A and B are shown apart, each in its own frame.
Chain A
Amino acid sequence: MNQITEDFEPQIVAFCCRYCAYAAADLAGSSRIQYPPNVKIVLLPCSGKVDELYLLKAFEAEADGVYVAGCLEGTCHFLTGNLRAKKRVQYVKSLLDEVGIGGERLEMYNLSSAEGQRFAEIAREMTERIRALGPSPLNQRKSKEGAIK
């Protein structure tokens, strides 16, 4: 198990709002702040656009972890999009628990467009969390099968 954890590189999908997290990612890039390459960014016009199904599909497509990053509470460009996103994340966490994937593989973050550093921190934090959790149970099965063959 340790073996797997050590060479395990998690696949993480980040759904980022263009007004904050996505801009912060840009800023991190232009300021040359390092963040793990494990994170694949999906641009959203607002974190409120995130749908329960996007999150589930990301896991179905074998992501090991997923997070949604929206504006700080009270500063959503569309007023309450980030609050809706928060509720959906909560809901999908419960679905992931039911299914057995685990709600802790999904998270909601809030930050502003000026926080390039914070963006990198979140990416690291999530990568470490998922690394510690190991591959998604969905992928564990596959790797086991792969090993037998």
Chain B
Amino acid sequence: MKSGSNLEKVLSSGHFAVTAELGPPKSCDPEVVEKKAEILKGFADAVNITDNQTAIVRTSSIATGVIVARKGLEPVVQMTCRDRNRIAIQSDLLGAAALGIKNLLCLTGDHQSCGNHPQARGVFDLDAIQLIDMVRRMRDEKKFQCGEEMSVEPRFFIGAAANPFADPFEFQVIRLAKKVTAGAEFIQTQLIYNVEKFARWMKMVREMGLHEKTYILAGVGPIKSAGAARYMKNKVAGMDVPGEIVERLQAASDPKAEGIKLCLDIIEQVRAIEGVAGIHIMAIEWESAVPEIAERAGLLPRPQID
């Protein structure tokens, strides 16, 4: 055990893992976080707490993670390289570990121009792979990035993201291998709507034996309407939403129900792919869909491991 987190235990004991996502509020209202945590508790092994996702200012991921943990739900704190240099990141990670955070997802981060402060100066002192490498060394070598020793090391279960729909397609798998070499013990993928492409990507992952070195959690999520699907298809960088998905939602009499049905279909398909160790449900601002999805996908109850 690297961290002893619930997520790590679930995965290492061979269970099919379920993680979800919880976006901190654009205010300092802890009740919003607590409410979302109440909804998700018991339906996911851990929940990702986004770090100023899409470069929009929100409560810090570490603070939100602590609130969530107090509610009895395990957080996966996300950390991006956009807003902090190596000094700030290490400092925040020590703080997070001291507050009991055990799972960390390392990201480069969306560019600041995508968010609500496009005038901000971006940092990008490190990239995601260098961040993973730094966190692993902090944990396993008890060393700061500069090489200095530390007495008590932060013990994180280290995760990273992968996007099977980004280009160059073949190289994104090599880049995943780099993340694994750097120390990524679990991977959460971008939202999958093009299952066929994801399956091709997983084939390459298996050919490189990466599924045996890291746990791959397939990213899934319900879409509320054809309009939302179209927006993701055309406006969100790094997404691949096939036309059929938009049409299917367009044709539905109850698009919300159809969105959930679609998500369940995708879960069923990705579960069948060799090397998929779990799913990561991203129901952004629609947390209430997660219990239903977990239930109907037959993923309940979640395992209790001590």
- Is any CB of A less than 8 Å from a CB of B in the complex? no
- B residues within 8 Å of A by Cβ? none
